[in-house]
Amino acid sequence: MEKIQWNEVQPDPQQCNRLLKSLFQITDVMNARKLTHSSMMDRVLHVVLDYLGVEQGSLMVLEKNKLVVRAASRPEIIGHKQTLTDDSVAGWVVRHAKPLFITDISQDKRFAKREGIYKKDSLLSAPVIHKDQVIGVINASDKSGGKDLLKDDISYLLYFSSLILWTFIQETLHKKISAQRTTLKKRNSELRHQEEMRSYLNRMLMHDLKTPLSEVVANLDILSYSISGEQKEFLEAAQLGCDRAVRMVANLVTTDMIADGKQQLLYEETDCLSLVGEAVSSIKGLARIKGIDLLQQEAAPDCPMITVDRTLMLRVLQNLLTNSLSYTYPDSAITVGFNMVGKNHIEFFVQDQGPGIPPAQQEYIFDKYARISSKQNALVGTGLGLHFCKLAVELHNGRIGVQSAEGNGSRFFFKIPIK
């Protein structure tokens, strides 16, 4: 875009003081936090008009190829729109990206005759430019007193263009932020609704599953007394499947209760060795079906008792073991155990010989519904098991994590304080 070259006037000291005063006034207006953008533009315009000594003027913003009056000495024209093809002074200024001084508009054949509401025929119009693009126009006419507008007045008008530009940019940013805020509110509302629906469906699912699962477990237990031989293996597989389904339902229930702050911990003094042993025993049948050995590391003889919600901690270990079984190769082993960490913490761990977890996936593996795809995964899960583990451990003021390298297996661990 061609740069505008105007001979800058050299104002006298009194004029300089007036200019500085006007600039300070505009700065104060723009820094006023409680002003709306329309009020801000109106005040800025009146400061400029007062400085120029004119009675009429307007600020116009370019919106979608139309000039819209945003501030004006005549309030009735605010909101008025002009197309860029109109034979108007403002349209000419936008098309040419140049300021314009007209001594007698009535004699200028480029423009249509104005209505008879103007006292004088001279006028000024200057573009407001941002990044080589015209984004608005400022107009001034009807110099007060016996004087008329001079060409030099446009230099004064251009002094204010950068400040006026900032008010335009503020309005644009405000509109964008408002639109983004509206979009975010709508999206948040949709997400809350989806989460409420998911929670509702979870509750209904859990309610509907509890009774039939309990009946199946009870009937399978009765059958176990009358079945032997090869059929015993199939019955055991059915029992294991039911046990896993029960744990999945329990995970759903507890996860929602912890998230809602409704889960109450039932503390009891617990022996770590018996806790690990019970977890291994409950998963042993599933491990045998997959051809995986469960190894229990020998415990240190001086390991103290811990005070925890035993049921929750047992389910944490069961979930970690089941997760490792899902990704561990057949004919390999999983090691489970615990160690003292310092004097005040116990660390439980589950070490598998699976394919390992890529570093990028380790970051979100404990997130809700997170799943890691694997060709070796023969067990179907909800993606809630590890998330439940994280919530349950943190509820005990503990920390859970994973150490893994691709091709070298994974070591899941959680550390809880000794109470």
- pLDDT tens track of the chain, all 419 residues? 444 444 444 556 776 777 778 778 877 877 777 778 788 888 888 888 888 888 889 999 888 889 999 889 999 999 999 998 888 889 999 999 988 888 887 778 788 766 656 667 778 888 888 878 888 898 888 876 655 555 566 666 666 666 676 666 666 777 788 888 999 999 999 988 887 887 777 767 766 776 677 777 777 778 777 777 777 777 777 777 777 777 777 777 777 777 777 788 889 999 999 999 999 988 888 888 889 999 998 877 778 899 999 989 999 999 999 999 988 889 999 999 999 998 899 999 999 998 998 888 888 888 877 666 554 444 445 567 898 899 999 999 999 999 998 888 999 999 999 87
What percentage of residues in the chain have a pLDDT greater than 90?
24
List, by residue range, all CATH 3.30.450.40 domains of the chain.
13-159
- 147-154 own/partner pairs: CB under 8 Å, 24+ apart: 147/53, 148/103, 148/120, 148/122, 149/52, 149/54, 149/101, 149/103, 149/120, 149/122, 149/123, 149/124, 151/101, 152/9, 153/52, 153/101, 153/124, 154/6, 154/99, 154/101, 154/124, 154/126
List, by residue range, all CATH 3.30.565.10 domains of the chain.
265-417
Domain 265-417, classified CATH 3.30.565.10, yes or no: yes
Instruction: Give the rounded distance of the alpha carbon of 388 from its chain centre.
Output: 24
Query: pLDDT tens digits for 105-162?
Result: 777 878 876 665 666 777 888 888 887 888 889 888 887 665 555 556 666 666 666 6
d(CA 10, CA 16): 9
Instruction: Give the rounded distance of the alpha carbon of 30 from its chain centre.
Output: 30
pTM: 0.51
CATH architecture of 13-159: 2-Layer Sandwich (3.30)
